Amino acid sequence: MTRRVLLIEDNEQNRYLATFLLERHGYRVSAAPDGAAGLVAATAELPDGILLDIQLPAMDGYAVARALRSVPALAQTPIIAVTSYAMVGDRERSLEAGCTGYIEKPIDPEHFVHTVERLSGWPRTEPQAG
């Protein structure tokens, strides 16, 4: 089964890296550059999981997470904050907003996908050949 992941991230380089790593493990990735576009994409696509930057323009990730959790079809979807917010209390604030897990940036390419899988409760995958 190919899992579908929505990446809500405003930084193009971060989108590229996360997409590359996830696709290498067989995930299908779509992306949104801001919170509003992410909400539209999430409700239209109903992805298996959402990776959410917290520091987004206009609507921060905390507000996005709360809005996503208010959509019944997304209430149980894993939402993982992937953020450079790494101060004391930021992890707790992300979880209180509705995130399932929290990954600090810069991400570790060696362990990123396995961390996403662990936080989502998904089976571990290995990189695909090619």
Instruction: Look at domain 4-120 and name its CATH class.
Output: alpha beta
Contact in structure between 112 and 29 (CB atoms under 8 Å):
no
pLDDT at 76: 96
In terms of pLDDT, which residue wins out, 1 or 3? 3
Total-model pTM: 0.96
Burial 18-55 (b: 16+ CB within 10 A, else e): bbebbebbebebbbbbbbbebbebbeeeebbbbbbbbe
pLDDT at 30 over 80: yes
In terms of pLDDT, which residue wins out, 1 or 40? 40
With 0-12 / 13-18 / 19 or more C-beta atoms within 10 angstroms meaning exposed / middle / buried, residue 88 is: exposed
pLDDT at 88: 75
Q: Express each pLDDT in 50-101 by its tens digit.
A: 999 999 999 999 999 999 999 999 999 999 999 886 777 889 999 999 999 9
pLDDT at 89: 83
Q: Express each pLDDT in 95-118 by its tens digit.
A: 999 999 999 999 999 999 999 999
Domain boundaries, the chain: 4-120
| Helix/strand/coil for 57 | coil
